[in-house]
């Protein structure tokens, strides 16, 4: 137990088993990002998966929309302590984009329009755990929430769910992305409060 | 060695309240004694953790209001209605009381006095806090880097650091934008930050200034969009957003 602050009682004790430690429930949908919001036009949008051998597979916006989509309803958790329950999305499972590829990569670097990057283990994007999402709450994803498309990996802190996603680079070696380079945790499990390096 | 430095930076340290000043009826600057503090850059933030007698904990992030100064650390906390942590820190929290603090955190929204390019600071409400740290770091370092501050607030009574900002500083231009109520005697009507404001009060795009924008989400979105439309390089626009989004 930490040092007790006299008189502090706290009140956000929902006891909700779906809330990871240190998180509070947000009713709104806060926005956090490091620079201006890129306005990405779907006419020129392209999504690429590149394997560690350099094989590149690309999808246009129309091709992405033509793929089988799923409608996950998931809880999301931001490193800045808010969580949001039962968020409703629509998107293409990463399995659909990566499943057929010939790869021995264990890691993925996610790239975004605007230059943002974040790294994850490939296994965390497969088996129905991650999507390229293009709808939120039944509507097209707005630019400030990452539209036209963002990565959605609800079991990790939300900085891993890169907005304005542009591609996945499969890699045999793990390398830090944007926030990971400035001290955020390499993996980011909200249930273990992996906020920063060393957590 | 690097690993040691990292775990030291992220260790929770016990801080005690040494002084406080009320900035406005709903915002308080807290000055902590924080032995072993490793120092920080202007613009960085910390995590503050409160623990109740039964072990319950709550943790929030707050911007540092001043540049590094030994074992002294200052935060300015805005009281949020129903804010579990902010209501305690701006209310019952008293001189000598402990909290735990770790950091510094964030190396992106940060200004170094060795950066030569002009700086544009755009603050919405309590978003002034990390930007004030940059203004104070400029003064502490004795550098002449040209600074412009555009500070949007609802009413004159909600201004933070009013006395300090009233004192003219060479090379620091300040423009105030009032959205609800103007100071007495000031002509015009209350308005939000817009293209005209930034076209007039910001650096021209070709000066290559670094822009730091901090405030509520909608404010930051608006200011960043205007800078892009005026031709500023997106890689020189750094943002820190808080609060609810527009939808």
Helix intervals (H) in A14-145:
61-66, 94-98
What is the predicted pLDDT for the residue at B225? Answer: 94
Distance between CA atoms of residues A10 and A195, nearest Å: 22
B12 → closest Cβ in A2, A8, A13 = A2
CA distance A109 to chain B (A): 20
Distance between CA atoms of residues B204 and B194, nearest Å: 15
For residue B10, give the DSSP letter: H
pLDDT digit string, tens, across residues B67-126:
999 999 999 999 988 788 999 999 999 999 999 999 898 778 999 999 999 999 999 999
pLDDT digit string, tens, across residues B188-239:
999 999 999 999 999 999 999 999 999 988 899 999 999 999 999 999 999 9
ipTM for this model: 0.79
Binary contact (A114, B234; C-beta < 8 A): yes
Distance between CA atoms of residues B65 and A33, nearest Å: 21
For residue B2, name the pLDDT band (cuts at 50, 70, 90): very low
What is the predicted pLDDT for the residue at A171? Answer: 95
Beta bridge partners of A46: A60
| pLDDT surpassing 90 at residue B167 | yes
Binary contact (A145, B245; C-beta < 8 A): yes
Query: What value, to the nearest 5°, has the Cα angle with vertex B217 and ends B211 and B221?
Result: 55
Helix intervals (H) in A18-106:
61-66, 94-98
Binary contact (A4, B14; C-beta < 8 A): no
């Amino acid at each position: 137990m930490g040092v007790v602050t006299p008189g502090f009682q706290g009140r956000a004790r929902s006891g909700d088993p779906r809330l990871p430690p240190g998180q509070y429930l947000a009713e709104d949908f806060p926005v956090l990002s490091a620079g201006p919001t890129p306005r990405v036009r779907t006419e020129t949008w392209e999504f690429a998966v590149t394997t560690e051998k350099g094989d590149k597979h690309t999808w246009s916006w129309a091709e992405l929309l033509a793929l089988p989509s799923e409608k996950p309803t998931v809880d999301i958790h931001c490193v800045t302590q808010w969580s949001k329950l039962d968020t409703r999305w629509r998107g293409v499972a990463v399995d659909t984009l990566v499943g057929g590829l010939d790869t021995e990569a264990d890691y993925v670097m996610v790239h975004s329009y605007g230059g943002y990057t974040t790294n994850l283990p490939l296994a965390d994007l497969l088996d129905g755990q991650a999507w390229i999402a293009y709808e939120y709450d039944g509507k097209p994803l707005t630019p400030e929430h990452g539209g036209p498309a963002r990565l959605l990996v609800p079991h990790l802190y939300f900085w891993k769910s890169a907005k304005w996603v542009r591609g996945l680079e499969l890699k045999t070696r793990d390398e830090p992305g944007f926030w990971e380079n400035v001290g955020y945790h390499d993996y980011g499990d909200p249930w273990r409060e992996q906020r920063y390096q060393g957590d | 060695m690097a690993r040691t430095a990292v775990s030291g930076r992220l260790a929770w340290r016990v801080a005690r309240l040494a002084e406080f000043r009320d900035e406005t009826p709903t915002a308080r600057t807290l000055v902590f004694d924080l032995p072993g503090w490793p120092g920080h850059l202007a613009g960085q933030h910390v995590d503050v953790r409160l623990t109740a007698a039964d072990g319950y904990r709550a943790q929030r992030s707050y911007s540092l209001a001043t540049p590094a100064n030994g074992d002294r650390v200052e935060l300015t906390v805005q009281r949020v209605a129903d804010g579990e942590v902010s209501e305690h820190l701006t209310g019952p929290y008293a001189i000598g009381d402990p909290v735990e603090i770790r950091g510094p955190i964030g190396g992106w929204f940060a200004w170094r006095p060795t950066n030569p390019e002009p700086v544009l600071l755009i603050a919405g409400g309590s978003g002034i806090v990390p930007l004030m740290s940059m203004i104070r770091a400029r003064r502490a370092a004795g550098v002449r880097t040209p600074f412009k501050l555009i500070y949007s607030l609802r009413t004159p009574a909600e201004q933070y650091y009013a006395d300090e900002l009233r004192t003219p500083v060479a090379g620091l231009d300040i423009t105030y934008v009032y959205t609800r109520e103007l100071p007495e005697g000031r002509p015009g009507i209350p308005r939000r930050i817009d293209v005209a404001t930034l076209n007039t009060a910001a650096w021209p795009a070709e000066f290559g200034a670094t822009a730091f924008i901090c405030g509520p989400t909608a404010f930051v979105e608006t200011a960043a969009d205007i800078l892009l439309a005026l031709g500023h390089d997106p890689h020189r626009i750094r943002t820190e957003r808080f609060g609810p989004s527009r939808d």
